[in-house]
Structure 1
Amino acid sequence: MSIKAIDHLGIQETISVVPAGEVPKKMGSSFFRGSASNFNPYGSDHVKDDFASRFLLKGWTPDKPFISPTTNVTAFGSCFAENISKHLAKLGFDVSKNRDRDIYISSMGEGLVNVHSITQQFRWALEGIAPPTNLWHGYKAEEFDLTEEIRTRTRDVFLNTDVFILTFGLSEIWYDELTGGVFWRAVPMKHYDPSRHKFRVCTFDETKACIQEIVTLIGKHVPQAKIVVTVSPIPLIATFRPIACLTANSASKAIIRAAVDETVRERGDEWAGRLYYFPAYEIVNEAFPNRFVEDGRHLQNMIVPAVMNLFQATFCNTDLTIEQAEKMLKDARLQSANTLDDHALFSQARFASRFGGIVKRLVGRKRAAKSR
């Protein structure tokens, strides 16, 4: 590394660093950085062929893939687990949604969006601890019963699972103040009772406690299983807090992401080679210049396949290589950049630029005419 002192204007001394395969970086020399540093990408790094491997996946993927067509995979929680299930099913892999379509983690898997709803399924199925009634509802506000038949079928799926893929979506919850029970999603209007149904944001501590409990329950009852945790990149459709939705969503995701990170760090030694985080959240939010369609929540159609291919290349035993997945990601990112032409703000910017150019030319011609 070469050291270059910046003049006497009070700016700290910097070190010029050239990591292999990256554009040169600069860092302050006033603090010890350890034997290795992983830098935030510069603009030019984004066109590198190994961008995802270097700046998004590094440190999170297994030494070698461990999901094969004969691996029993159980994926549920938020809508991104649904995407993983569909992708693996298309590859002919064994996913729980195909093994038993009628249990709740299959029929309502993507509706289990908070940590409490996912924890409820593990407590109920594996240890027979039922949550308070009237908390589980489908998309049409239908109520789901806590029948022993569904519980034992869910338990059987869990006990025969080799890999759990769990996606946590949001921190905003509705709960029954009388029982303390948390709803899967929001409270159906026909059941809403303002005297007992309340809203709050999950704290970091309770979020982490739920995730830790899930890991503990799997370790106790399904000790052979591996766990892959993800955070859904899909934002809130609305917040029930008296603040702007974009800021509420930022807080909601931050709570989950921090709790996941701390769980993986704390349980890493105990669960070495069995507990993983896949950075779907960061891939979507950091790699694509235009992530969502007009509604601000549904991803552009090139994004999900690109993320799933990265998962497949790093976690699954298939012919897809990481180099091929990186190429697909890069192509998808270029397509995403092209969709900016349709973004309302960019369309307005182009109009303003064209209009400004016309005005400038007209003014120039008028001035030229006056000078004559």
Structure 2
Amino acid sequence: MKVISGEDAYRSLRSNKTFRWANHKPDTPPAPSRTRKLALLPRLDPRFTFGAEDRLFTIGSCFARHVESELEKYGYRFRTRARENQVEPDECTSPNGFFNKFTTASMLNEVLWALTEERFPEVAYTEVNGRWTDGQLPASFATLERAREIRARVQDILGDIRQSQFLVLTLGLVESWFDTEAGIYLNTAPTAGHISKYPGRFEVHVLDYVENLRHLEKIRETVKAANPDLRLVVTVSPVPLGATFTGQDITVANNYSKSTLRAVAGDFCSRHTDAEYFPSYEAVTESAPPAAWMEDAIHVRIELVRCVIAHFMKHYGPPSLADRIDPEAVLAALRASMPEAG
């Protein structure tokens, strides 16, 4: 529990221009809500910043891949985006999408296999209709040898955490499939073919607050053992669930998922001075929907992602980069990209 004295509470309120959804005086009509703005970029008060030569490593869902893409424009490099590490179109829906990690359980698996003596269990490789998967990667392969090759590549690249100064974790969802034979959580849902071929082997676990927080704490413990000076930035992906296996309306399942992960991320970062919460989730979900979402209402428009990362770099980046960022120019580009502008 965080405790704030009454004096500090009112001191904070007086100095915080964003303490309300909209600022107005009691005797005047209500001011427009901040959420009516094209892009709502939350106020930030960073405890640390990146150096120009610092190395960043990201783990997370497809939104994390967008973050990498935008950070590359500021000079940061990621092996996950190198051409030699991409896979073929028949193996994954995007060239580097096989790096995506959607649950805290799968993220924990990967750092344990990359940074400790624990090893990926051979029994976790499964075959259906001539295609091989390992359950941790959103991809499938024509041979077991190819699946092993990509598994080794992922673990090698995750070893870059040892030489990084910052680890960015993007939490995605709480519905996690469990492989009872391998004794591990999976990253993606097994196909209907897997359920038929391996009856009774797979289960859905809806991970609650306690379980997700335990996984996040274990991730921190593992990466800090390998790299004591590492600092963490934790975000929650704004991308909603694509489907739910719980039988609930997806709006209900998605709100539980994001609410749980947002609470976990906030409490985790409050516990540790080497961890910082970055509100990319709030920046997207509280922005004007036409500016935030593509037509499928699932994926975030890249123009808004650019606004969010520019906001991130303006506050967390080195002065040599931050001073070159014009927030108004980025917002103008977002505005110009809107369908109405065409």
Shorter-chain TM-score tier:
0.7 to 0.9
Q: Secondary structure at the match of 1:145?
A: helix
Q: Is the 8 A contact 2:98 2:137 kept in 1?
A: no
Q: Is residue 74 of structure 2 the alignment partner of residue 91 of structure 1?
A: yes
RMSD: 3.5
Using structure 2 for the length normalisation, give the TM-score. Answer: 0.75
Alignment of 1:185-200 (within 5 A): 185-192=188-195, 193-200=198-205
How many residue pairs were aligned?
A: 299
Q: Is residue 103 of structure 2 the alignment partner of residue 114 of structure 1?
A: yes
Distance in 1 between the 2:114 and 2:219 partners?
12
Q: Which residue of 2 aligns with 1:201?
A: 206
Distance in 1 between the 2:281 and 2:187 partners?
21
Q: Which residue of 1 aligns with 2:293?
A: 292
Q: Identify the structure with bigger relative contact order (alpha carbons < 8 Å, sequence gap 6+).
A: 2
Alignment of 1:140-179 (within 5 A): 140-142=139-141, 144-145=147-148, 150=153, 153-154=156-157, 156-179=159-182
- Cα 1:260/1:245, change in 2 over 3 Å: same
Q: Could you give the per-residue CA deviations for residues 106-134 of structure 1, whole angstroms, max 9, x where no partner exists?
A: 94565211111111111111112124423
Using structure 1 for the length normalisation, give the TM-score. Answer: 0.69
Q: Could you give the per-residue CA deviations for residues 151-200 of structure 1, whole angstroms, max 9, x where no partner exists?
A: 77246412111211111111111111344311111113433334121112
Q: Secondary structure at the match of 2:184?
A: coil
Q: For residue 223 of structure 1, report the CA deviation from its aligned partner.
A: 1.1
Q: Is the 8 A contact 1:114 1:184 kept in 2?
A: yes
Q: Is the 8 A contact 1:103 1:154 kept in 2?
A: no
Q: Could you give the per-residue CA deviations for residues 206-261 of structure 1, whole angstroms, max 9, x where no partner exists?
A: 10011111111122110122211111000011111111111111101111111111
Q: Is residue 268 of structure 2 the alignment partner of residue 263 of structure 1?
A: yes
Structure 2 residue runs without a partner (length 5+): 1-6, 23-30, 88-94, 126-133
Q: Secondary structure at the match of 2:11?
A: coil
Distance in 2 between the 1:163 and 1:52 partners?
25
- Cα 1:277/1:304, change in 2 over 3 Å: same
Q: Is the 8 A contact 1:173 1:182 kept in 2?
A: yes
Q: Which residue of 2 aligns with 1:127?
A: 116
Q: For residue 262 of structure 1, report the CA deviation from its aligned partner.
A: 1.0
Q: Is residue 44 of structure 2 the alignment partner of residue 58 of structure 1?
A: yes
Q: Which residue of 2 aligns with 1:306?
A: 307
- Cα 1:258/1:160, change in 2 over 3 Å: same
Q: Percent identity?
A: 22
Distance in 1 between the 2:325 and 2:20 partners?
21
Opposite residue 281 of structure 2, the aligned amino acid is Y
- Cα 1:96/1:162, change in 2 over 3 Å: farther
Structure 1 residue runs without a partner (length 5+): 1-30, 343-372
Q: Is the 8 A contact 1:287 1:333 kept in 2?
A: no
- Cα 1:48/1:184, change in 2 over 3 Å: closer
